[in-house]
């Protein structure tokens, strides 16, 4: 490895597996060069989250990071870990620092069949993670009355529009978004689609919401025309704007293999649909991409708390490490690509193949054994599964 990647350690069962993955699948084969940040909950609390901000700065400087799942604290965790305070979500901090968008993608293996039979390749879902109903203001109106939308500009401009002369009690809601956030989102989507050489579709409801969704569409189009058109054409991929209903219909009858860029709510709902249609949360990768092309790879599941408590009692749990392995391979392959060290990228691809080959040969963890067809040869615990992957990797190398 020529240059380092930022390594963000985490919590509970995923922290346990993090070390096993490094010891068994990385350190024997790669001169691993990382800048280590301990994002374990206690250390975040002790440092008042400085370690989280430092790790985000490291990702910006090094351009590549890999992150273990972390606990987002709540009152129960404050007591469990004897914390000073309720710390904010580390993913939220890093996402805000990088101004990034999260892309989620299922990992396909032949013997785990999703429920949508025409999907042959993964669908990458990019969710705009700012504004709309997630930052809304709502009123339950008690009686008949006039509902209005009022904007008071810094310069004194006042814009006022009638929502409805309401003949009886009801509900009203105010939502917003910002041009700057939508621009970043469009850039992140196109940057990542180019990186992966896959086409990108953005769907919105601009036929009905001509100003609000119309603004999303106009900004996507402008960012595309001004910054990406030439690169997209050169890469031989497609870029398309469509209605959200049309996007849903196309997705359901597609073969997959493209990026679906969505508004915040659509992404919330549709990412759960794609994840459950593909089998398991532990077979789903997640990458945070900043508009200027920094990449942070992680698993999309959490710290698998229940398994951790069983592990603490001495059980060798059958926790699926695949998404965490793929977080590492994603980061190493990206490092290799940026540094021109093809051996590193090649190693990452081989480790991915060894992992998939192991599952396809019938050796897997309990979560996917339940949905595998044909039935698995053996259901392994995490340590046995990782040892099997290592055998396959060594045979390949
Ligand atoms: P979780 O870690 O995603 O696990 C929920 C359940 O999903 C598990 O109990 C397990 O089901 C199954 N599962 C998830 N990952 C699995 C894997 N790799 N292998 C096998 N089964 C897996 O969610 P959680 O337990 O509700 O949350 C625990 C902590 O994670 C929370 O403190 C939360 O804040 C944090 N979290 C972090 C991130 C992140 O850092 N990106 C994301 C989400 C949640 P069974 O018990 O049925 O086996
Ligand atoms: Mg959701």
Least distant ligand from the CA of 324: 1
Return the C-alpha torsion angle 40, 42, 44, 48, nearest 10.
180
Least distant ligand from the CA of 16: 1
Q: Residue 386 has what pLDDT?
A: 98
Residue 342: partners with Cβ closer than 8 Å, 6 or more residues away: 336
Q: Residue 45 has what pLDDT?
A: 95
Probe target for ligand 1 pocket from 272, 281, 370, with the most ligand atoms within 8 Å of CB: 281
392 lines ligand 1 (CB under 6 A): no
303 lines ligand 1 (CB under 6 A): yes
User: pLDDT tens across 131-165, in order?
Assistant: 899 888 999 999 999 999 999 999 999 999 999 99
| Residue 219 burial (CB count, 10 A) | 19
Dihedral of CA 277/348/201/296: which sign? positive
69 lines ligand 1 (CB under 6 A): yes
Most confident of 182-196, 273-287, 330-344: 330-344
Q: Residue 130 has what pLDDT?
A: 86
Q: Residue 126 has what pLDDT?
A: 93
Which residues, listed in sequence order, are joined to residue 58 by a DSSP beta bridge?
none
Of 130, 107, 133, 101, residue with least CA distance to 119 = 107
Ligand 2 centroid vs 299 CA: distance in angstroms?
Answer: 16
320 lines ligand 1 (CB under 6 A): yes
User: Cβ distance 245 to 204 under 8 Å?
Assistant: no
User: pLDDT tens across 219-253, in order?
Assistant: 999 999 999 999 999 999 999 999 999 999 999 99
User: pLDDT tens across 103-123, in order?
Assistant: 999 898 999 888 888 988 989
Residues 37-55 have a mean pLDDT of 97
Q: Residue 88 has what pLDDT?
A: 82
Q: By three-state DSSP, how is residue 280 classified?
A: coil
Strand order in the sheet with 64-67: 34-38, 5-9, 64-67, 295-299, 284-289, 101-106, 124-127, 259-262, 200-204, 239-243
pLDDT band with cut points at 50, 70 and 90 for residue 362: very high
72 to 25, 53, 102, 256, 286: CA distances (angstroms): 28, 15, 17, 32, 17
* Nearest residue by C-alpha to atom 13 in ligand 1: 304
């Amino acid at each position: 490895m020529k240059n380092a990647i930022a390594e963000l350690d985490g919590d509970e069962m995923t922290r346990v597996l993090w070390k096993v993955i490094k010891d068994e699948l990385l350190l024997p084969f790669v001169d691993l060069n990382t800048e280590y940040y301990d994002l374990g909950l206690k250390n975040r609390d002790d440092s008042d989250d400085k370690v989280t901000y430092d790790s985000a700065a490291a990702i910006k400087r090094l351009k590549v990071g890999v992150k273990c799942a972390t606990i987002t604290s709540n009152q129960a965790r404050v007591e469990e870990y004897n914390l000073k305070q309720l710390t904010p979500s580390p993913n939220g901090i890093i996402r805000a620092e990088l101004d990034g968008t999260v892309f989620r993608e299922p990992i396909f293996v032949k013997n785990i069949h999703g429920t949508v039979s025409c999907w042959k390749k993964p669908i990458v879902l990019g969710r705009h993670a700012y504004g709309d109903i997630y930052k809304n203001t709502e009123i339950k109106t008690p009686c008949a009355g006039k509902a209005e939308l009022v904007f008071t500009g810094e310069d004194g401009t006042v814009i006022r529009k009638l929502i409805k002369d309401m003949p009886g009690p009801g509900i009203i809601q105010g939502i917003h978004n910002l041009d700057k956030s939508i621009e970043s989102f469009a850039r992140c989507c196109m940057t990542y689609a180019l990186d992966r050489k896959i086409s990108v579709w953005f769907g919105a409801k601009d036929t009905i919401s001509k100003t609000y969704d119309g603004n999303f569409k106009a900004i996507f189009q402008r960012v595309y025309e001004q910054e990406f058109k030439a690169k997209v054409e050169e890469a031989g991929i497609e870029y398309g704007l469509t209605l959200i209903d049309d996007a849903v219909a196309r997705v359901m009858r597609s073969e997959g293999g493209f990026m679906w860029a969505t508004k915040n709510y659509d992404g919330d709902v549709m990412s759960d649909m794609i994840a459950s249609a593909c089998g398991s949360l532990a077979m789903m990768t997640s990458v945070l991409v900043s508009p200027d092309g920094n990449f942070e790879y992680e698993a999309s599941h959490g710290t698998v708390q229940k398994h951790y408590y069983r592990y603490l009692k001495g059980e060798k749990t059958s926790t699926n490490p695949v998404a965490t392995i793929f977080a590492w391979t994603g980061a190493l392959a990206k490092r290799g690509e940026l540094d021109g060290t093809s051996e590193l990228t090649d190693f990452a691809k081989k480790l991915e193949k060894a992992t998939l080959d192991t599952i396809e040969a019938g050796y897997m963890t309990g979560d996917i054994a339940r949905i595998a067809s044909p039935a698995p040869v053996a259901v392994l615990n995490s340590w046995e599964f990782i040892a099997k992957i290592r055998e396959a990797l060594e045979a390949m190398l």
